[in-house]
Amino acid sequence: MHKQDNEIAYSSLLAAPVAIGLFLLACVVSAFVERAALAAFFGFVFTLLLCSYAWGRFSVRKLTYAIDAPSTGVFPGQTIRFTRTLHNQKLLPLIWIEVIEPYEPYGCAAPESRFVAGGRCVYKFSMLRWHQKLSFTDEWAAVRRGVHSIDAVSLRSGDGLGLCVRSKTAWQEPVRRFSVYPKMVDVSVEKVLRDMWETCSASCGYLEDVTLLRSVREYLPSDPAKRINQRLLARGQGLMVNRYETAAPGNVLFVLDAASFAGKDAEHFEEALSIAASLIMGLCQRGIRAGIAVPASMYFPETFVQPSSGRAELLHMLELLSAADQENPPLRGPLPVTSPELIGQTYYVAHNFNDSTALRLLAPFPANKTRLLLWDADGASALSGFRAEAVKNFRRVQ
């Protein structure tokens, strides 16, 4: 549903309708008593204030504002380039305009200091002619992980004397969002690859994907009964066994338990997210498929990204991690994984075992291919039955 742009008026007492009416009355009375000079003065003031009132009243009508930002996010330390467009769609020119955007002093992005005033981001312009479109670009610094969201801005304008000012809220539909990804750190992707191959149960590091039938062959005494093709047997075509496609354990799944970090040091959460994001990026760059399951956040519902090494999926995973928060609800699940045994390695990222909230989701996955990545891993292996390791161990020592 489109939100209506509401207007708010700020007028000097001189430009109020009552004051304008009084000057008109004074002009008429002065003319009636034949005080020409005084009548001319009151008439001039009346005309000036009436024009000021009318100019201010219609100043923000048919004034639109749009924001354009890149489709992908950036990393902390980089800059975000925004392009903004003002369009005056009427005959009335505007002597001055102010654009006021929301700004969080401790948010993920910061504008240039010259635009910050009173805890807001303010852009000022001196002239916008009739039916003129004005575009301007500025850069915000990506300070820390998070999502910068703009759903509404305030537009202010009025008469040239500043006696009558109007302000309206311009809603941005759809809401403009921009992500600052987790900080990239130097991690050991080799540890993940070693985990994958060490836990592989088939010879030569390959597994059979029982969902993909490659061919059939004649039955041999050494073949297990479960491989017999029952359909061919029912047709009277003899004992034939299925041969399946082989699949290397080239995919990794990360499960984020953000709720386990609730009430803990925020730096622990940021470090864990940075390491997880860096591992995902490193795996994708090596052609290893990586996926993630994250709980619902302020900007996204609970999301499961199938393991992939594609750029679009990688950016989406980084975007999801950008929006993660310690106050996110626990993962509900279940995880929509068709063949959990074909996942090369599953990493459950949490603060500690005792505060974990979604360990039940790991039940379908082979225990030997599941590892807990915890900030505090003391005693977690014995308590959980899974291998556990401190998440910071995946960061290279400088």
**Reported pTM:** 0.80
Reported as a pLDDT band with limits 50, 70 and 90, residue 207 is low
User: Considering the chain, what percentage of its residues have pLDDT values greater than 90?
Assistant: 58
Burial pattern 18-48, b for ≥16 Cβ within 10 A else e, equals ebbeebbebbeebeeeeeeeebeebbebbeb
Helix ranges (DSSP H) in the chain: 17-32, 36-57, 189-198, 230-234, 266-285, 311-323, 380-384
Reported as a pLDDT band with limits 50, 70 and 90, residue 196 is confident
- Mean pLDDT on 327-340: 91
Better-scored residue on pLDDT, 322 or 224: 322
* Spatial separation of the C-alpha atoms in residues 73 and 177, rounded to whole Å: 9
Reported as a pLDDT band with limits 50, 70 and 90, residue 315 is very high
Torsion of CA 187, 193, 195, 197, to 10 degrees: -170
Kindly give the pairing relationship between strand 251-256 and strand 133-142: unpaired
Residue 3 in 3-state DSSP? coil
Q: Is pLDDT above 50 for 249?
A: yes
The amino acid sitting at 129 is R
* Spatial separation of the C-alpha atoms in residues 279 and 289, rounded to whole Å: 11
DSSP state of 32: H
Reported as a pLDDT band with limits 50, 70 and 90, residue 203 is very low
Bond prior to 174 in cis (omega within 30° of 0): yes
Q: Is pLDDT above 70 for 317?
A: yes
Reported as a pLDDT band with limits 50, 70 and 90, residue 313 is very high
pLDDT of residue 4: 52
- Mean pLDDT on 127-132: 92
Reported as a pLDDT band with limits 50, 70 and 90, residue 172 is confident
Reported as a pLDDT band with limits 50, 70 and 90, residue 6 is low
Chain centre distance of CA 167 = 29
pLDDT of residue 204: 41
Q: Is pLDDT above 90 for 19?
A: no
DSSP state of 94: B
pLDDT of residue 5: 56
* Spatial separation of the C-alpha atoms in residues 94 and 62, rounded to whole Å: 12
Half-sphere CA count of 147, side-chain side, radius 13 A = 20
Mean predicted lDDT score pLDDT of the chain:
88
Better-scored residue on pLDDT, 128 or 8: 128
- Mean pLDDT on 326-342: 90
Q: pLDDT tens digits, residue range 341-356?
A: 888 899 999 999 999 9
Q: Is pLDDT above 60 for 205?
A: no
Reported residue count of the chain is 398
Query: Is residue 260 a contact partner of residue 352, using CB atoms and an 8 Å limit?
Result: yes
Burial pattern 297-306, b for ≥16 Cβ within 10 A else e, equals bebbeebbbe
Tokens 């850069």 sit on residue: 139
- 260: nearest Cα among 377, 397, 382: 377
Tokens 């403009």 sit on residue: 176
* Spatial separation of the C-alpha atoms in residues 151 and 210, rounded to whole Å: 48
Q: Is pLDDT above 90 for 240?
A: no
pLDDT of residue 231: 84
Residue 65 in 3-state DSSP? strand
- Domains of the chain: residue spans and CATH: 1-180 (2.60.40.10), 189-199+249-394 (3.40.50), 207-247 (no CATH)
Q: pLDDT tens digits, residue range 291-311?
A: 999 999 999 999 999 999 899
Query: Which of 19-33, 147-161, 199-213, 261-275 has the weakest average pLDDT?
Result: 199-213
Q: pLDDT tens digits, residue range 64-86?
A: 999 988 778 999 999 999 999 99
Query: Which of 242-256, 262-276, 299-313, 351-365 has the weakest average pLDDT?
Result: 242-256
Reported as a pLDDT band with limits 50, 70 and 90, residue 13 is low
Residue 228 in 3-state DSSP? strand
Better-scored residue on pLDDT, 219 or 28: 28
The residues pairing with 333 across neighbouring beta strands, listed in sequence order, are none
Measured CA distances, 246 to 18, 311, 343 (Å): 86, 25, 13
pLDDT of residue 160: 80
pLDDT of residue 338: 84
* Spatial separation of the C-alpha atoms in residues 327 and 197, rounded to whole Å: 35
pLDDT of residue 241: 85
Half-sphere CA count of 26, side-chain side, radius 13 A = 16
Q: Is pLDDT above 60 for 2?
A: no
